[in-house]
Amino acid sequence: MSELDPTPADTGRPRLPRSVGLTALGVAVARAQESLRRDRLFDDPYARAFVDAVGAEAVSSMRTFGSYIALRTALFDDYLLAAARAGLGQVVLLAAGLDTRALRLDWPAGTTVFELDLPEVLEFKEAVLGRATAPAGSTRTVVPADLREDWAPALTAAGFRPEAPTAWLAEGLLPYLTSADNDLLVERVGALSAPTSRLAVEHVNPTTTYKGDVSGFRKMQSSIGAQWRSTQPDPPGWLAGHGWRALDAPTMDELHLRYGRGAELSERTGTGAGGLVISERGA
Ligand SMILES: C[S@@+](CC[C@H](N)C(=O)[O-])C[C@H]1O[C@@H](n2cnc3c(N)ncnc32)[C@H](O)[C@@H]1O
């Protein structure tokens, strides 16, 4: 059995997702590591549960930009909570992967968090989470969907209301889709977005340079067949073209300073804006 064999026949462990779905586990590894730090930016106990469910050996070859993922998680935690507290009662996590914000953030009463991802990823997730529930007064709803398809009917069937303002998040997803798929995705999001809705995305800026050694990450990507399919040189401009006005688009350096990690090696630096953008639906 290879280290990332998705079908550990006789282990009794939940079946691992394949290919791009497996990248969610890499993010969980990074979140579990961050949660162990004394100066952690968040505590995600479920991240450890995902790693434990598959066994440390199975994730030993997963490579991610660990400190970057911690910063990106903190930024989007803050974005989503602020949006919910400002009255956006629906949160939609596009490609939620093993994100457990629905369970671990202190949502205002009445918030509904929708999680969309590929069916096999959500099956794995539910098998590990078991009966974990969202904080009292909030709701977590899982919606299996391929985000290259028209997922709107599945989301509305699950209780999503297009007339109510929504905080959307596409974190760790866009590089794995083609530019054409991303255009379609963001158009579909727009069509479902009432005024004052917000959208946060992460994309990879092709001007990004890497200070650290990323060969292990690239090798891991190609070994599981989950290469990036697109980059975006101007994420705020791209969003503006689809009707979203950028509110915040920190560079990697700004992000490190904002969260008190200025002293650490920035794994990614960019000559332009970073790939992280928080935006609001234009009038
Ligand atoms: C790097 S993970 C990020 C997961 C999560 N957003 C996070 O930050 O922890 C990428 C996720 O995108 C999902 N994904 C990729 N292509 C997808 C598609 N066509 N439809 C739905 N989900 C997809 C994968 O299943 C995986 O969970």
pLDDT by residue (tens digit) across 5-44?
444 445 667 887 777 778 899 899 999 999 999 999 999 9
| Cα 101 to ligand 1 centroid, rounded to whole Å | 15
Q: Which residue has the CA at smallest separation from atom 14 of ligand 1?
A: 95
Q: Which residue has the CA at smallest separation from atom 13 of ligand 1?
A: 95
| Cα 83 to ligand 1 centroid, rounded to whole Å | 22
pLDDT score at 138: 96
> Identity (one letter) of the amino acid at 88?
L
Mean pLDDT, the chain, rounded, equals 88
Q: Which helix (H) or strand (E) holds 27?
A: helix 19-36
Tell me if 254 sits within 8 A of 211, measured CB to CB.
no
Averaged over 158-172, what is the pLDDT? 98
Which burial class, exposed, middle or buried, applies to 211 when counting CB atoms under 10 A from its CB (0-12, 13-18, 19+)? exposed
- Closest ligand 1 atom to the C-alpha of 26? 1
pLDDT score at 4: 41
pLDDT of 53 over the 80 cut: yes
Task: For residues 78 and 250, give the distance between their C-alpha atoms in angstroms, rounded to a whole number.
Answer: 14
Indicate the DSSP class of residue 135. P
Q: Which residue has the CA at smallest separation from atom 9 of ligand 1?
A: 99
pLDDT of 130 over the 50 cut: yes
Provide the greatest CA pair distance for the chain. 56
Tell me if 67 sits within 8 A of 41, measured CB to CB.
no
Instruction: Identify the sign of the CA torsion 27, 28, 29, 34.
Output: positive
- Closest ligand 1 atom to the C-alpha of 147? 20
| Cα 23 to ligand 1 centroid, rounded to whole Å | 7
pLDDT score at 1: 28
pLDDT score at 216: 73
The fold for domain 66-214+228-281 equals Rossmann fold (3.40.50)
Binned at pLDDT 50, 70 and 90, residue 58 comes out as confident
Select, from the ranges 54-68, 147-161, 214-228, the one with the highest average predicted confidence (pLDDT): 147-161
Ligand 1 contacts (CB < 6 A) are 20-21, 23-24, 27, 95-99, 117-118, 121, 146-148, 171-173, 176
- Closest ligand 1 atom to the C-alpha of 28? 9
Choice between 49 and 269, residue whose per-residue pLDDT is larger: 49
Binned at pLDDT 50, 70 and 90, residue 107 comes out as very high
> Of all residues in the chain, what percent carry a pLDDT higher than 90?
65
Task: For residues 176 and 277, give the distance between their C-alpha atoms in angstroms, rounded to a whole number.
Answer: 17
Tell me if 128 sits within 8 A of 49, measured CB to CB.
yes
Binned at pLDDT 50, 70 and 90, residue 88 comes out as very high
Which burial class, exposed, middle or buried, applies to 202 when counting CB atoms under 10 A from its CB (0-12, 13-18, 19+)? buried
Total length of the chain:
283
> Identity (one letter) of the amino acid at 158?
A
pLDDT score at 2: 34
pLDDT score at 201: 97
Averaged over 78-99, what is the pLDDT? 98
Token pair for residue 67? 């400190």
Binned at pLDDT 50, 70 and 90, residue 3 comes out as very low
Select, from the ranges 11-15, 145-149, 253-257, the one with the highest average predicted confidence (pLDDT): 145-149
Domain ranges for the chain:
66-214+228-281
Task: For residues 237 and 259, give the distance between their C-alpha atoms in angstroms, rounded to a whole number.
Answer: 25
